Structure 1
């Protein structure tokens, strides 16, 4: 079952919508799905639906609500891809991580699910990293996160498990940036990095031209195991 929730901001002065996919029974934990630059589009909703099928409450907040609420763009359409890049250029990720924190509060307090993980893609991968450094989310996963190399000084604040999926041929994240990420994070006891040789940005999208089936399945299986270990197991 899926529906839409209204989530208050941390200040309580405004609110934003989120797509919510609910499992058939009581959720075993919650997964907060963080959008790419294309909004909460069919691909992001499909990821939520998959988590719900696996027994999790899945929530995807509309993080572009301050600019264009409920926007949904197709990365395989050039005009829409360019529009998404324009929105990304105007977006303040500090607002994003605050909205993620507000969503975590809503999941725990209103939905009544105490254990919360987050998984993000592209911009969402960066925000998943920021959530690991700035919130008390229980576990975080980032796919092809951008600009993480510029935020490595925040890594000392990571208190809960974080996993990052890094395609080595990512045309948005240079080889130098990837090297910096490994240099800054490989030794961190809470962080796991996985490289995907020869794959490009967006390889784990649910559908479309960017998807690499083998790479997506491998990364997604690692993510599922990661959340099962850190959200479901005791101790």
Structure 2
């Protein structure tokens, strides 16, 4: 487990990314897309778990233009609010460009092999955008926010996408979830799973938001999805 530095697509800046490598030759690479809390211990743990399953995992610091290296704890109210404030300032188009630069770096590290993406919260939204705007091979989004406002991009999704939707998500209300289903249920490349009774953040690695049974179910589905589409 280490940190690497990645050049932006325009070579006008550089940002850090946490990397977890498997014991042997990686089967593929997965870009892990942060929540609004930065590349914190939970995101690094996600990377470590993917590496234990044979993947090269890379988590780019997408907030580097705002506050590089920030790590927040969502169980601390002031830090939760800080994350929400950063979300409001974050340029998502630049974020996708940085994700694309990370995809290129990841693909080079696995000899031109397949690269997937998995994101949480803000990262769940960005995972959907990544599927529509880059050459990613497979994407997973957990409790992505505002995806119902991105449905105009669904025609550009050419490779498999999996979305985990907690039914009691206090950031994504029931009408928004209904719009997601209406817009995506018939898409041949997109699968949505609903999690009744679950709230935003249910699959976090640590802290009060975690719901172990639902997290294990979602993570098992994600593992099967990547095993199928990144082989």
TM-score, L = length of structure 1: 0.97
Counterpart of 1:82 in 2: which secondary structure? helix
Equivalent position of 1:126 in the other structure: 125
User: 2:72 is matched with which residue?
Assistant: 73
Partner of 2:13: 14
Gaps of 5+ in 1: none
Could you list the per-position Cα deviations for residues 136-190 of structure 1 after superposition, in whole angstroms to 9, with x for gaps in the alignment? 0000000000010001000000000000000000000010100000000000000
**1:94 lines up with 2:114 in the alignment:** no
**1:30·1:113 contact (CA, 8 Å) conserved in 2?**
no
Instruction: Report deviation, 1:108.
Output: 1.4
Q: How far apart, CA to CA, are the structure 2 residues paired with 1:134 and 1:196?
A: 27
Q: What are the within-5 Å matches in structure 2 for residues 166-205 of structure 1?
A: 166-205=165-204
Q: What does residue 54 of structure 1 align with? A: 53
Return the alpha-carbon distance in structure 2 between the equivalents of residues 174 and 56 of structure 1.
34
Query: What is the CA RMSD across the aligned residues, in angstroms?
Result: 0.7
Aligned residue in 1 for 2:104: 105
Q: Secondary structure at the match of 1:216?
A: helix
1:165 alignment partner in structure 2: 164
| Rounded Cα–Cα distance in structure 1 between residues aligned with 2:109 and 2:46 | 22
- Give how far 1:13 is off: 1.3
Q: Distance in 2 between matches of 1:92 and 1:114?
A: 29
8 A contact 1:140–1:161 mirrored in 2: yes
- Give the match for residue 143 of structure 1: 142
1:109, distance to aligned residue in structure 2 (A): 2.3
2: CA distance between counterparts of 1:213 and 1:105? 34
Question: Take 2:110 and 2:221, find their aligned partners in 1: how far apart are those partners?
Answer: 26
Give the Cα–Cα distance (whole angstroms) in 2 for the partners of residues 12 and 52 of structure 1. 28
Give distance in 2, aligned partners of 1:139 and 1:218.
19
- Whole-Å separation in 1 of the counterparts to 2:219 and 2:165: 13
Aligned to 2:155: 156
Whether contact under 8 Å (1:164, 1:192) holds in the other structure is yes
Structure 2 distance, partners of 1:83, 1:187, is 37
**2:230 partner SS:** helix
Q: CA deviation at 1:207?
A: 1.1
CA contact (8 A) 1:121 1:144 kept: yes
Query: How many Å apart are 1:96 and its aligned residue?
Result: 0.9
Structure 2 counterpart of 1:83: 82
Q: Deviation at 1:110?
A: 4.6
Following TM superposition, the consecutive aligned residue runs of length 4 or more in structure 1 with deviations greater than 4 angstroms are none
Counterpart-to-counterpart distance in 2, 1:109 and 1:226: 22
Distance 2:49 2:41 in 1: 12
